[in-house]
Amino acid sequence: MNLSIKNILKTILPLALGGFLVWYSISKISLETLLQYFKKANYSWITLGLFFGILSHLSRAYRWKYLLEPMGYKPNFGNSTMAVLVAYLVNLTVPRAGEVSRAAVMANYEGIPFEKGFGTIVAERIADLLMMLCIITITLFVQFDFIYNLLTKNFNPTKIIIGLLILVSGFYIFSYFVRNAESGFLFKIKTFVNGLIEGATSVFKMKNKWAFIFHTVFIWLMYIAMFWATVPAIDNLHVPFGAVLIGFIAGGFSIAATNGGIGLYPVAVAGAFALFGISEEPANAFGWIMWTAQTAMIIVFGGLSFLFLPIYNKK
């Protein structure tokens, strides 16, 4: 397939999927009802959630310096922050293009070679992926009884055990072939996994490794805090902490799957809440309010950063 056609499809298909999911989500709750939830929402809680979101972006911009300093670069914090915000804005239109724009901003205004800046962003993404896996693991432990009861209620325990044994055996066999691959698709997987491991272990070789780890944990705690703080904005929406964690994970995957989670975010969060018996209507409304708040924040601050960067760097 022609490369340009591939790029067009990569842009159009997520947007088309997002449009379909917006329609699907709205079909679960009337637009009039949804607007009523927006009108009655407690915007003090939403503002608190956005405050946590802003702290996470600032921390991400500050954390970046720990990866750039060993290469001899000391970027201006203002430029780092605006580069991060512009990246989030670009990701709303073209998935994964934000990382490219972020490296390009720093190359333009800080003189950091694009390939070096982009390399540090990839290292950051590896750290973020590991944090997401940690959150999933913690959630599995915290909600073990709930997840176990949910599975045994809907599936035969014997079948679950057999399925797990097949899954573990399949994973062992697959990993064996990946480890011994010398070419082809399996070799690409091997290279990718080795890169993840190398990137993760390289953090512990950094001069300021504990500061980097602190900011990484802080960023993700702020993400969860942003989600948790927005829950009370909806009247009579009672969400246990376990549901907050599972809803947060579902929302996170939806953002990775489509342009900023458009359409899919409310569906994913409502689906996660449904596991805890939370009513579909307020769950859907919460998903839309949460997504709208964080997307509006990115559009406003990302847009202002895009406009202000040339003025800030006029000298």
For residue 195, being part of any structural domain is answered with yes
Domain that holds residue 61: 44-312
pTM of the model: 0.80
Predicted confidence pLDDT, tens digits, the chain (315 residues): 555 565 555 556 665 665 666 666 666 667 788 889 999 999 999 999 999 999 999 999 999 988 888 878 888 899 999 999 999 998 887 767 788 889 899 988 888 888 888 888 888 888 888 899 999 888 888 877 776 666 666 566 676 677 778 888 888 887 877 777 777 777 777 776 776 566 556 566 677 888 999 999 999 999 999 999 999 999 888 888 888 999 999 888 888 777 777 778 888 888 888 888 888 888 889 999 999 999 999 999 999 999 999 888 886
Judge contact between 277 and 246, C-beta under 8 A: no
For residue 30, being part of any structural domain is answered with no
For residue 10, being part of any structural domain is answered with no
For residue 32, being part of any structural domain is answered with no
For residue 68, being part of any structural domain is answered with yes
For residue 8, being part of any structural domain is answered with no
Q: How many domains does the chain have?
A: 1
Q: Please state, in angstroms and as integers, the Cα–Cα distance from residue 271 to each residue in 140, 195, 197, 267, following that order.
A: 17, 34, 33, 6
For residue 253, being part of any structural domain is answered with yes
For residue 211, being part of any structural domain is answered with yes
Q: Half-sphere exposure of 107 toward its Cβ, with a 13 Å CA cutoff? A: 15
What DSSP assignment string belongs to 79-129?
A: HHHHHHHHHHHHHTTSTTHHHHHHHHHHHHHH---HHHHHHHHHHHHHHHH
pLDDT at 217: 94
